[in-house]
Chain A
């Protein structure tokens, strides 16, 4: 067991490579009960990979992962479901855990898709499916929620409501959340800890610290950093195609 009973997952200098090419390396972070940790970074910066390392989906990794809970809810960024399976929303909700009907209804109501309960999963729209995915992840009342772009394809008002819901769940269930998001406004307002990735950890800290950081601005541009503060822009390293980092 961990010394700190609140720690759910801890990554120590974790990295993952395929055929010698690093997808991400040297990531250290920890997720605690009741806290939201957000991963930000451009496409291909290793956000989803980091989430999969934390979840234990990737096994042959560098560094260490310590996972202290098995009650996990996961919303993957991409999910391919084979439609040779006849699968209704209701069947999908109980995929990894047996739930009472009330628990299923409650979760589907929270994400606003209770009316789809008996629909065929293949007939849902992208946004509807995303809401079902989120409902499934929270329905089992997990200790750890890993949400990889959980509101993609959801309409604008729905997006705000769902982020509020995520914040509320974190408070009510006292679960730890690893969130991957492109919406910097949301990230900055709802997050306890931000990790900015670009193949490695560029910077991390409280949202305010990260917004002030030069590397953050180098990645997201001046405008993004102006969300909270104004600062001078400079690159101190470049990324090669092999995922190496060279100092200027």
Chain B
């Protein structure tokens, strides 16, 4: 059954959506969109290193992204630069270094477009294995740190005062972010991963009244975006990443219509 490239892409995409749903909610709640972008940009460096050293791509991306996150934390402590400037610095410099390294690797043919925007043809059976082992693992860890992470998202001092160790939860969450980027880069592409994280979650925010319902709607939105996006991609021969993101944008716009209606009802 997994011989068909389209089925493989679909199974991979659905596996990713289950993970980006809850993580995306935290990205919105904690205002981490640019942080996600930075990690994703640094993923290019991870991919080139994987090719150079003939290493597994997902693992390489995971290591490089985690490293960039660590560097960011150190820079925040040691410099007086604002957070967004540091994020921009790391995002663009790691992207640039990645592209320069690609320039040197003339002996390998790179599909840059595929790296940036995702390529459903590139999903292999091994990738499926990584997604369906790595994904549930990320979700399990997120469930374990949910309480301290969520409490410190609402109010850091309450979480700290009442003994929940929010700093540890934050560090683990950063690693989970690197993890989701690593397993979804082939499918969605590094320029669009953050979109996959935040757009379904943003759609969910529009139609939910509790954190739990937002997570559920976010997952559903992601799953639906993958299905819609991939069928469009197959039909019109478009890149998989942009098609999925465009589908999630469509769902987001639908959720705005719902808000308009409920405002009308209130008045």
Write the residues of chain A forming the contact surface with B, with a CB cutoff of 8 angstroms: 52, 55-57, 70-74, 76, 79-82, 84-88, 91-92, 95-98, 120, 140, 146
Interface string of B145-165 (1 = CB under 8 A from A): 001001101110111111110
CB distance from A123 to the nearest CB of B (A): 11
Write the residues of chain B forming the contact surface with A, with a CB cutoff of 8 angstroms: 28-29, 31, 147, 150-151, 153-155, 157-164, 205, 208-214
Contact of A86 among B151, B158, B164, B210 (CB under 8 A): B210
Q: Are A56 and B160 in contact (CB under 8 A)?
A: yes
Q: How long is the Cα–Cα vector from A211 to B225 in the complex, in angstroms?
A: 68
- Write the chain B residue with the least CB distance to A90: B210
Contact of A95 among B29, B151, B210, B213 (CB under 8 A): B151
Q: Are B153 and A72 in contact (CB under 8 A)?
A: no
CB distance from B11 to the nearest CB of A (A): 31
Q: Are B163 and A95 in contact (CB under 8 A)?
A: no
Q: Are B210 and A87 in contact (CB under 8 A)?
A: yes
B151, B208, B210, B214, most chain A CB atoms within 10 A = B210
Given A57-B157, A96-B147, does the pair A88, B162 have CB atoms closer than 8 Å? Answer: no
- Write the chain A residue with the least CB distance to B208: A86
Q: How long is the Cα–Cα vector from A76 to B28 in the complex, in angstroms?
A: 25
- Sort A-B residue pairs by CB-CB distance and give the 8 closest, nearest first: A55-B161, A70-B163, A74-B161, A96-B162, A95-B151, A57-B160, A72-B162, A96-B151
Q: Per DSSP, are chain A's interface residues mostly helix, strand or loop, or mixed?
A: loop
Q: How long is the Cα–Cα vector from A83 to B197 in the complex, in angstroms?
A: 19
Q: Are B157 and A52 in contact (CB under 8 A)?
A: yes
Q: How long is the Cα–Cα vector from A95 to B155 in the complex, in angstroms?
A: 10
- Write the chain B residue with the least CB distance to A85: B29
Given A82-B29, A96-B147, A120-B209, does the pair A87, B162 have CB atoms closer than 8 Å? Answer: no
- Write the chain A residue with the least CB distance to B153: A85
Contact of A96 among B29, B159, B213 (CB under 8 A): B159
Given A72-B162, A74-B161, A74-B162, does the pair A88, B210 have CB atoms closer than 8 Å? Answer: yes
**5 pairs, A vs B, C-beta closer than 8 Å:** A72-B162, A80-B155, A84-B29, A95-B155, A96-B162
A73, A87, A120, most chain B CB atoms within 10 A = A87
Given A70-B163, A74-B162, does the pair A87, B154 have CB atoms closer than 8 Å? Answer: yes
Q: Are B161 and A81 in contact (CB under 8 A)?
A: no
- Write the chain B residue with the least CB distance to A92: B154
Task: Write out the residue numbers on chain A whose beta carbons fall within 8 Å of the beta carbon of B205.
Answer: 84, 86
CB distance from B12 to the nearest CB of A (A): 30
Q: Are A81 and B163 in contact (CB under 8 A)?
A: no
Q: Are B211 and A85 in contact (CB under 8 A)?
A: yes
- Write the chain A residue with the least CB distance to B150: A95
- Write the chain B residue with the least CB distance to A59: B160
Q: How long is the Cα–Cα vector from A79 to B214 in the complex, in angstroms?
A: 23
Contact of B158 among A56, A70, A82, A96 (CB under 8 A): A96
Q: Are B147 and A91 in contact (CB under 8 A)?
A: no
Q: Are B209 and A88 in contact (CB under 8 A)?
A: yes
Q: How long is the Cα–Cα vector from A228 to B157 in the complex, in angstroms?
A: 36
- Write the chain A residue with the least CB distance to B206: A86
CB distance from B239 to the nearest CB of A (A): 30
Q: Are A74 and B158 in contact (CB under 8 A)?
A: yes
Q: How long is the Cα–Cα vector from A95 to B29 in the complex, in angstroms?
A: 15
